[in-house]
Amino acid sequence: MFLKPPLHPLTARASKKTQLYAYPREALLALCNTSPELMQTLLAALVRRLYRAVSRIECLSLNNASQRLATYLLELHCPHDGHCVNGPVNINLPINITMLAGHLAMTPETLSRQLQKFRQQGLLRGKGRALTLLDPARLCEYVGLNASDFSGKTTPLTAGCCNLAPD
């Protein structure tokens, strides 16, 4: 939006019926020039997205498949405010297994095997998108993550490792 000419390095496809709004670039820039608050809000959103993208690259580069899946499940468990419960908690996957596997840089078969391992270890219960995370701290221990990273105000969700949630 702020570059001349505007660059669009990504494309997107809706997975369900979606309503899209488009604003002319020049009109939005003119509005930003008259409203510093709007400009600050837009820049803050861009910085959050950039930070999450860098964190996601780091997560996908440094963690193995079980750690990426565990991180993702823990991100769903710990909302943006960082309030995490250390007991059984219901979580709903916002996307289907095939899309999630792609997002976590693994095949759907690998994702299914990882979920099954978590179930066999007594860490997870449920099928499809409706899951119960039984013991978040034990899940961290099982995959070799630091549980304290998921219990404070700065969770991997706010860092953005494998997050799909909107800003």
Residue 131's nearest CA partner among 97, 167, 81, 160 is 97
Distance in angstroms (rounded) separating the CA atoms of residues 136 and 142 = 10
Is the pTM higher than 0.75? The answer reads no
| 96 φ/ψ angles, rounded to the nearest 5 degrees | -75, 170
Q: Which among 35-39, 79-83, 86-90, 132-136 has the top mean pLDDT?
A: 35-39
pLDDT digits over 40-68, tens only?
Answer: 999 999 898 888 778 777 767 767 999 99
- pLDDT given for residue 85 in this prediction: 63
- pLDDT given for residue 38 in this prediction: 94
| Cα Rg of the chain, angstroms | 18
pLDDT greater than 60 at residue 164: no
The structural domains of the chain, ordered by start, are 59-159 (1.10.10.10)
Distance in angstroms (rounded) separating the CA atoms of residues 88 and 57 = 29
- pLDDT given for residue 33 in this prediction: 93
CA end-to-end distance (rounded Å), the chain? 18
**Reported confidence tier of residue 136, pLDDT bands at 50, 70, 90:** confident
Q: Minimum mean pLDDT among 2-16, 64-78, 98-112: which range?
A: 2-16
